Structure 1
Amino acid sequence: MPEVAALQVTADPAGVGVDAARLARIDRHFAGYVDDGRLPGWQVVVARHGQVVHSSVHGRRDVEAELPVEQDTLWRIYSMTKPITSVAALSMLEEGAFELNDPVSRFIPSFADVRVWAGGSSQSPRTVPATEPVRMWHLLSHTAGLTYGFMNAHPVDTIYRDHGFDFGTAHGLDLAACADAWAGLPLLFDPGTQWSYSVATDVLGRVLEVIAGKGLDQVLAERVLDPLGMSDTRWWVDTPDADRLAALYSPHPATGKAVRLDSVGQAALHAPVMLSGGGGLVSTAADYLRFTEMLRRGGELDGVRVLGPRTLAYASRNHLPGGADLTAFGSGQFSEVAYGGVGFGLGFAVTVDPTAGKTMSSPGEITWGGAASTAFWVDPVEDLVAIFLTQLLPSSTHPIRTQLRTLVHQALVD
């Protein structure tokens, strides 16, 4: 496969079974989101059999400054950081650094005596000892019982917010301190008994730091970013590249039009105190394409192997007990992926039954998204990857992901 270093279309779509005229529907459809003010701008990339068949940008990365989206625009990828951290963890698993059944307390002692919510209120919770330790596979599969403060679905979410963990982390705490703080808060449920979107990947990042004896930034650089040549992926954007960073927006509650959200967006211009393996990276479409192509190719890109193919295949299976999907096993609601017919592996959502979710996809597809309405998927049946990048918070605002799937799949003609 040619090196994926840029975003130029590298093949005649017809040569890899894609109809170019049908691909053009993607741009027409999402241009409407920009034209009526729902999105500031976006970037989309589709590749099949390792060849880029569609690459387009539309709108502005900064509406107020009238700066257009460009091929090298930098985007906050938020939870699309999670698969990168998970791949780094899997590479350590391959080396025998831990086992999936290892208790997290082996690496973070504060997780030795976790307790589970049993009733009461956020101000006066009743808890009981967990019947099962939080294990490494629980972190990778989001079945640890941890949560996010911004979920707003349970009294434990309120407890997180009361401790400073809302959209972001308590002021001044580094990753080690955050992990210890989370260990002291009630779990939503006994580990392994439900699924809940959570800070689990942040805790995983702290485990990687302990194992490696170095910061998460070095761990991810050494194990994923540098080997894959993801030179534009970083934890914050400093002055020389600041104008490449897209501004962050949110929908106006009355009009639905995108309104600038600098109160949150400006954080990406400063070095973070806490390195968030669950949501801290900024990246480009070209860089993330390299990451997804590595996944599509079974752990290797341009002669560099990040994971063994069987490790990645194992991680891409549904690890929810009994083969359940997120409708049956999930706790609360989130918007990074559909629920029906979708399970969860070790770092990715996994499509089990495409018909259950009523969204065009293939069995075995791995996927995830980010809080600012970004998304990617890797489809092993169609040998396809797709990436959509924009900056609208929250990701539940518009059905971008399901619409994109339909628009991409309807263009496949072989």
Structure 2
Amino acid sequence: MSTAAGPGADQRTALEALLRRHVEEGTVPGAVALLGGEDAEPVAVGRLAVDGPAMPVDAVVRLQSMTKVVTAVAALRAVEAGHLGLDDAVERWLPELADRRVLRHPAAEVDDTVPAPGPITLRHLLTCTSGYGMVVDGSPLGAAMAANGTQAGPLPWAGGADAWLARLAALPLAFAPGTGWRYHHSFSVLGVLLARVAGRPLADHLAADLLGPLGLRDTGFWVPTDRLDRLPAAYRAEDGALVETEPAGGGPYAGPPDVDVSHGELVSTAADYHRFLRALAARTPVDGAPLLSAEHLALLTSDQVAPALKTPESFFPGFWDGTGWGFGVAVVTAGPAAGRYGWSGGQGTDFFVDPDGTTGILLTQVELGERTWGLLQDFQALRDPDRLS
């Protein structure tokens, strides 16, 4: 298949053909995707589950880390409303994070620490430089995170937001705030922060400040019971086969949870997420004003990580080659797609926005692995980089 797609109907045809090929090859049982500008419409291919009903175009999927940019926008809106500042210490609202201690070196025992030279700020959370994050090197800190339920995994965090934060706060920082980069946990901390600043669960705050005004009726922290017929099954690939990890219409996101999930991740549809991205990129008015100021949009969509922090051990090998990190999104910093921003979710979701406003959204429900990475790469290649402005 060609890596370029023409405009309009040709682009939609190429997208549908790509999805069908990957369904037929067994990469995913089904997918919903969208590629184009303001009027782009999603296409659905395959099934909600292996041997299940057809995948609906309005499938409500687990976004996982595609949640991060939504949380980042909510945080910047709180800044613009005067509720907190980018360089405010978060311990005012998160006293659990006062008086942090830092490992003497990455492989140190968890009690071999020194006082942190400064507090964690909102900016540190948005840029994944708080000192909290994924540890995958078998260190004592990594073992301690696995033991107390704060290591990242495919399932939502166990327990409520306050209990989760208390467990995380019981562990030292991997590095002093602002001196390193580690993925993921900062945004769960950010969710708890926003809930406490707002004085209500993040689900309620997002509904009132962002999701409701944008008309995103299918986006939230769980799937309402009357829409469970649109929640696909979740899978992981093992030995070349798809193994179901959550049933269609079931799992942790089915119906309202019993605990506060302000530290959690969203579910959404392709149409909802496209409306959010259009409001962000085109600065569509929401309640009479743009979603974000031009200043904050520029910060969110440009590289905010100092070169010294882009070390090979901070994330997977090669991640920083031509890539930076803004606020909740990766940013392409070199090559023909320079200026593109976007991110993926661990359950096989992906989005990007190009400088000319072209948007791509891909929603599957198979954990990222060799074959799903191939699908994501094929999807992004449909966008002809020669047409970037």
Residue pair 1:23, 1:407 contacting (<8 A) in 2 also: no
Q: Could you say if the C-alpha distance between residues 263 and 129 of structure 1 is closer, same or farther in structure 2, counting changes exceeding 3 Å?
A: farther
What is the alpha-carbon distance in structure 1 between the residues aligned to residue 368 and residue 117 of structure 2?
35
Q: Could you say if the C-alpha distance between residues 113 and 248 of structure 1 is closer, same or farther in structure 2, counting changes exceeding 3 Å?
A: same
**Following superposition of structure 1 onto structure 2, how do residues 14-413 of structure 1 map, counting pairs within 5 Å?**
18=7, 20-21=9-10, 23-48=12-37, 50-52=38-40, 55-64=42-51, 66-119=52-105, 125-148=111-134, 151=136, 154-166=139-151, 167=153, 168=155, 171=158, 173-252=159-238, 254-255=239-240, 257-262=241-246, 266-273=251-258, 275-276=260-261, 279-298=264-283, 300=285, 305-322=290-307, 326=310, 328=311, 331-333=314-316, 338-353=319-334, 355=335, 361-363=337-339, 365-380=340-355, 382-394=356-368, 397-409=372-384, 412=387
Deviations 1:376-405 (A, max 9, x none): 11112x221110000011356423333222
The range that moved more, 17-26 or 309-318, is: 17-26
Deviations 1:343-373 (A, max 9, x none): 11122222221x2xxxx6232x221121111
1:56 Cα deviation after fit: 1.6
Q: Could you say if the C-alpha distance between residues 242 and 263 of structure 1 is closer, same or farther in structure 2, counting changes exceeding 3 Å?
A: closer
What is the alpha-carbon distance in structure 1 between the residues aligned to residue 101 and residue 156 of structure 2?
21
What is the alpha-carbon distance in structure 2 between the residues aligned to residue 329 and residue 97 of structure 1?
36
The range that moved more, 115-124 or 83-92, is: 115-124
Q: Could you say if the C-alpha distance between residues 107 and 375 of structure 1 is closer, same or farther in structure 2, counting changes exceeding 3 Å?
A: same
Determine helix, strand or coil for the equivalent of 2:42: strand
1:211 Cα deviation after fit: 1.3
Q: Could you say if the C-alpha distance between residues 94 and 124 of structure 1 is closer, same or farther in structure 2, counting changes exceeding 3 Å?
A: closer
Q: What percent of counterpart residues are identical? A: 31
What is the alpha-carbon distance in structure 2 between the residues aligned to residue 125 and residue 169 of structure 1?
28
What is the alpha-carbon distance in structure 2 between the residues aligned to residue 63 and residue 376 of structure 1?
24
What is the alpha-carbon distance in structure 2 between the residues aligned to residue 344 and residue 160 of structure 1?
24
CA RMSD of aligned residues (A): 2.9
Runs of 4+ in 1 over 6 A off after TM superposition: 120-123
Give the counterpart letter for 1:95 in structure 2: A
TM (normalized to structure 1)? 0.83
1:55 Cα deviation after fit: 3.0
Deviations 1:248-269 (A, max 9, x none): 01002x22x3221128961111
Deviations 1:320-362 (A, max 9, x none): 125x684x4761329xx95321111122222221x2xxxx623
Give the counterpart letter for 1:233 in structure 2: T
What is the alpha-carbon distance in structure 2 between the residues aligned to residue 347 and residue 413 of structure 1?
22
Q: Could you say if the C-alpha distance between residues 232 and 119 of structure 1 is closer, same or farther in structure 2, counting changes exceeding 3 Å?
A: same
1:30 Cα deviation after fit: 2.9
The residue that corresponds to 1:6 in the other structure is: none
Give the counterpart letter for 1:367 in structure 2: G
Q: Could you say if the C-alpha distance between residues 22 and 346 of structure 1 is closer, same or farther in structure 2, counting changes exceeding 3 Å?
A: closer
1:170 Cα deviation after fit: 6.0
Q: Could you say if the C-alpha distance between residues 169 and 63 of structure 1 is closer, same or farther in structure 2, counting changes exceeding 3 Å?
A: closer
Unmatched tracts of structure 2, length 5 or more: none
What is the alpha-carbon distance in structure 2 between the residues aligned to residue 58 and residue 342 of structure 1?
31
1:277 Cα deviation after fit: 5.2
Unmatched tracts of structure 1, length 5 or more: 1-13
Residue pair 1:76, 1:391 contacting (<8 A) in 2 also: yes
The residue that corresponds to 1:11 in the other structure is: none
Residue pair 2:157, 2:264 contacting (<8 A) in 1 also: no
Deviations 1:89-141 (A, max 9, x none): 10010122111111111211121111122358687652222223211100011
Deviations 1:225-278 (A, max 9, x none): 0111001112222332111101101002x22x3221128961111433555556
Residue pair 1:45, 1:387 contacting (<8 A) in 2 also: yes
1:318 Cα deviation after fit: 1.4
Q: Could you say if the C-alpha distance between residues 301 and 104 of structure 1 is closer, same or farther in structure 2, counting changes exceeding 3 Å?
A: closer
Residue pair 2:237, 2:369 contacting (<8 A) in 1 also: no
Q: Could you say if the C-alpha distance between residues 177 and 377 of structure 1 is closer, same or farther in structure 2, counting changes exceeding 3 Å?
A: same
What is the alpha-carbon distance in structure 1 between the residues aligned to residue 31 and residue 14 of structure 2?
15
Q: Could you say if the C-alpha distance between residues 383 and 237 of structure 1 is closer, same or farther in structure 2, counting changes exceeding 3 Å?
A: closer
Alignment size in residue pairs? 381
What is the alpha-carbon distance in structure 1 between the residues aligned to residue 170 and residue 369 of structure 2?
29
